[in-house]
Amino acid sequence: MGLSIFFNSLFGKAKKTTDETIDKATEIAVEAKETLEELADSATKKLDELHLSEKVDGFVKTAKEKASEAADWAEEKAHEVKDAIEDVVKKTEEKIDELTKDKNEAPKTEEKIDISKDKE
């Protein structure tokens, strides 16, 4: 019997300590929540006073426009480079065909060499 009383007492104390800890943590969480809400309200009021939200909105809008313009410019330049490379490749292929054709179609000239010498 003494053993069961010991365990009940031990677990009872642990349960009581756990309950107290949970209550204290809950109390701290409630206080932190209230403090954060007050800070958020204060920050919102300050932002409204400074009209920062309007300025930030304008900045974001301008940044999006500039990014869009930059993307359009980059896309245009990429197409120009692609077209230029295609032109170079086409001209190179034409030149290779021309040189190959000239070499294959070059008339074969037979040159006769007179190896006899006049000894007079």
Q: Has residue 110 got a pLDDT over 60?
A: no
Within 1-120, residue ranges assigned H as helices are 2-50, 52-105
CA–CA separation, 52 and 46 (whole Å): 9
CA–CA separation, 43 and 37 (whole Å): 10
What is the average pLDDT value for the chain, to the nearest integer?
77
Q: What are 5-46's pLDDT values in tens digits?
A: 765 665 666 667 777 888 888 888 888 888 888 888 888 888
Can you tell me the mean pLDDT for 73-86? 89
DSSP 110: P
Q: Where are the domains of the chain?
A: 8-50, 52-102
- Quote the crossing angle between the two packed helices 52-105 and 2-50, to the nearest 10°: 80
For residues 30 and 52, the model is more confident at 30
The values of phi and psi at residue 51, to 5°, are 55, 30
Q: What is the pLDDT of residue 63?
A: 86
* Range name among 2-16, 42-56, 70-84 with the lowest pLDDT average: 2-16
